[in-house]
Amino acid sequence: MNNVATKNKNSYNEVLRIFKKTRIAWMQLETGKTSTAPKIVIEKLLDTLEKLIKSIDKINISSLRTYYPQETINKIKANLGAHKDQAQQLNKKVLAMKYFDAISPKIGGYVQDIDIGEGEIREFGSKYNLMQTFLSRVLHPHNIREFKPQLESLSKGTMTLPSFRRWFRNTMFPTGMPSKEQLSPKEKAEKYGHPESWRRAKDEFQSYTAYNKEQSEKQANIQFHRKKGDNNE
């Protein structure tokens, strides 16, 4: 096996090893079974996941074609795709945890200082429910990348009240949004560009354990098999 193929083979195995470690670290963080401060674990996980995604993109699968059968190559390609998808989803979940810890203590003060009508509050049952729904929407994995600049500003305490008011009202009470009776949640998502996941805004985030179970079929354990007659390694 030439140097390029060997490098890519080793990179592939390293991706599997690092992903396994990040998955364990996330599950420990999610269940509170980590001895290290959550903030430190979160920052380390985000850094590792970003590097992992870049590493997956750099792997040159075609360099292995000379040494392994097409069936194995196809499995390697599918496995890398599944790992990249899960790493991206996990990255969003860790980001949500990071920003929740940073902004949830500040939301109450901001909301108290902006004008919210009693009718708008009643729509959500209470001001507390309104704030919880706001957090669920802006921290949802489908939305968190879009709102990252605002989340970063709020977490640092640099967001002005007018900026927060616009963000909050555009998120919770979009201008021109028709009544709930006129459009279904799916139709709202298609018409206004809001992710369909907003319909589930009050639900808990899906745990990574559950997500991993759904994706398990995509995670074949690839064993490298040399082609018959190939004695090079």
With beta carbons less than 8 A apart as the criterion, state whether 104 and 84 touch. Answer: no
User: What is the structure's pLDDT at 7?
Assistant: 92
66 in Cβ contact with 78 (< 8 Å): no
Q: Cα(95)–Cα(200) distance, rounded to whole angstroms?
A: 19
What's the CA gap between 76 and 70, in Å, rounded?
10
pLDDT tens figures, 114-140:
888 888 888 888 888 888 899 988 998
- Per-residue pLDDT tens for 17-27? 999 999 998 88
Secondary structure element (H or E) that encloses residue 144, with its range: none
Structure confidence at residue 211 as a pLDDT band (50, 70, 90)? very low
Task: Tell me: pLDDT of 2 over 60.
Answer: yes
The pTM assigned to this predicted structure is 0.68
pLDDT at 43 over 70: yes
Q: What would the pLDDT profile of 149-207 be if each residue is shown by its tens digit?
A: 999 999 888 888 889 998 998 888 876 444 443 445 444 444 443 443 334 333 333 33
Which residues touch 205 (CB under 8 Å, ≥6 apart)?
Answer: 93, 96, 140, 141
Q: Quick count: other Cβ atoms within 10 Å of Cβ 137? A: 20
67, pLDDT greater than 90: no
Pair 194, 171: CB distance under 8 Å: no
CA 168 to chain centre: 22
